[in-house]
Structure 1
Amino acid sequence: MELVEDKFYLIDKPATWTSFDIVKKMKFAGRFKKIGHAGTLDPLATGLLIVCTGKYTKKIEYFQSLPKIYEGILVLGKTTPSIDLETEFDSEEYPINHISKDLMESVITKLTGEIIQVPPIYSAIKQDGKRLFVHARKGVQESELEIKTRNVIVYSFDIDSSNFPEIQFTIKCSKGTYIRSLVRDFGKLCGSGAYMKSLRRTHIGEYSVLSAQNIQDFDSEKYETLP
């Protein structure tokens, strides 16, 4: 395989692969000296991951700054420590019969625009020199950690369909937004609980997952470049 440096690649990340797994496979397949990804996806999430090689690693910050679009399914009435299906369900269940369309629309309004967000404890953010998920896996509770809040922008939060208590949604948001935190807060503001059943990133700026390669079929001679 011919070595192709100084490019960026659109990859459709499959479920259970970490973003690091993608970079590792591509580094081996393409024999790249410099390689990195722009914007981590959770292991269970799928969709668009931009991987930069060679001189294009200097563009990582640019790609990370672009708005993102996600499609997913949240489920009301139950929670998990990770807010997705990476961990087992919590023992407590929450009421859902009081949740109406009007209530959900009111909650969405509160979660749209410039908001302050608390990242999930199951995340790669560092605190006290360790990733938050390391604390979580040692049994440390979220209430025991002073997780730093962050300011993010949710440009739109749309409910596409509802097979209650499952809610299918599309979210357009800024860099650094945790969709799992939005799901957690959506459940709480509805007077219930919620977890994320599935998540797919479809766009990063103008770049679409429809143009992405499958990692299993990775070929370093097929690539996208900046205009």
Structure 2
Amino acid sequence: MSVILWNKKYTETLAITLERFRSEHPEYCESNITYAGRLDPMAEGLMILLTDNDVHRKETFLALPKTYEVEFICGVRTDTYDVLGKVVHAQAVSLFEARVQKEIEQLINITEQSYPPYSSKSVQGKPLWQWAREGSLGNVTIPVRDIHITSSTYQGSRIVSAPALQERIVSLLAQVQGDFRQEVITDLWNNYFQNTDGETIRMYKMTITASSGTYMRSLVEYLGNKLGTGATTLHIKRLQIGEYTP
């Protein structure tokens, strides 16, 4: 099979999702397997897997545009731009939904994007996330790449109880395997919720189609800056890669 469409689960690392693929498809247990396009632990959805001789076609699939559904909250920022990060800023929020919709629709005007500090992009032979973990980001220049957003659509919002969202985030953090600073991050999220005014939080949703390599959590960070509130990505789901759908 030249192209394998695979669904990565929410909170899975790429290593874990490949391990699950081999377990569910033992016919590939001895095969060389690669993925054409990464997904963060706090993202789920469509992936393209290539095996054996087809791994050499990886660049062809990497170049395909991708469509995502993204859910986020305003009034809080983390150092990773998603919930798998340390809370670094929080504030009270008073937003008109029309303002959020307008800023989302204007994302199509963005033509370049800096790599997020917690990403695998290599700088001076070391991934950015390692520079960030060492507190040495100030010693390097964060690369910028050209991007093209063909569609940015506001999908509405919903209200959730703050305690329910706290429970959800803490539970998700506990499910992530590997060293992602989960203990200190969990403490910071608990502290955030303990000091949050109000019993409910509004969650916003958008759908984005963009060129390969566009970081959805960076778009949320950008939105938070434009809105003046800060914002954090809660959930990302990849819906489509080029013409490939689940």
Amino acid at match of 1:8: V
Which residue identity lines up with residue 10 of structure 1 in the other structure? Answer: L
CA deviation profile, 1:81-116 (whole Å, cap 9, x unmatched): 1111112322x323421x323432442344214511
Out of 171, 180, 189, the residue aligned to residue 208 of structure 2 is 171
Q: How far does residue 11 in structure 1 lie from its aligned partner after superposition?
A: 0.9
User: Among 232, 237, 240, which residue is 1:195 paired with?
Assistant: 232
Distance 1:102 1:144 in 2: 40
2:156 & 2:99 partners in 1: Cα distance? 15
Aligned-partner Cα distance in 2 for 1:42–1:137:
17
Instruction: Out of 67-76 and 157-166, give the one that drifted further.
Output: 157-166
TM-score by length of 2: 0.75
Whether 2:26 is the aligned partner of 1:31: answer no
Where in structure 1 do 4 or more consecutive aligned residues deviate above 6 Å?
none
The 2-side partners of 1:119 and 1:183 are apart by: 13
The question of whether the paired residues in 1 share the 8 Å contact of 2:74 and 2:224 is answered with yes
> What are structure 1's unaligned runs of at least 5 residues?
1-5, 210-227
User: How far apart in 2 are the matches of 1:47 and 1:124?
Assistant: 19
Which amino acid is 2:215 matched to? Y
- Secondary structure in 2 matching 1:195: strand
Contact 1:94 1:192 in 2 (8 A): yes
CA RMSD across the alignment: 2.0
Aligned residues: 201
What is the Cα deviation at residue 153 of structure 1?
0.7
Q: Hey, which of these two has a bigger chunk of helix by percent?
A: 2
**Aligned match for 2:7, one of 9, 12, 19:** 12
Say which SS state the counterpart of residue 83 (structure 2) adopts.
coil
The answer on whether the counterparts of 1:32 and 1:54 sit within 8 Å (CA) in structure 2 is no
Partner residue of 2:62? 64
Structure-2 residue corresponding to 1:215:
none
Cα separation, 2, equivalents of 1:109 and 1:13: 28
Report the counterpart of residue 212 of structure 1 in structure 2: none
Question: Greater CA deviation, 128-137 or 26-35?
Answer: 26-35
Instruction: Indicate the percent of aligned positions where both proteins have the same amino acid.
Output: 30
C-alpha offsets along residues 110-140 of structure 1, whole Å, 9 cap, x if unaligned?
Answer: 4214511111101110012111111122233
Which amino acid in the other structure matches residue 38 of structure 1? A
Question: 5+ residue gaps in structure 2?
Answer: 160-201
Other-structure match for 2:78: 80
Q: Does 1:117 align with 2:113?
A: yes
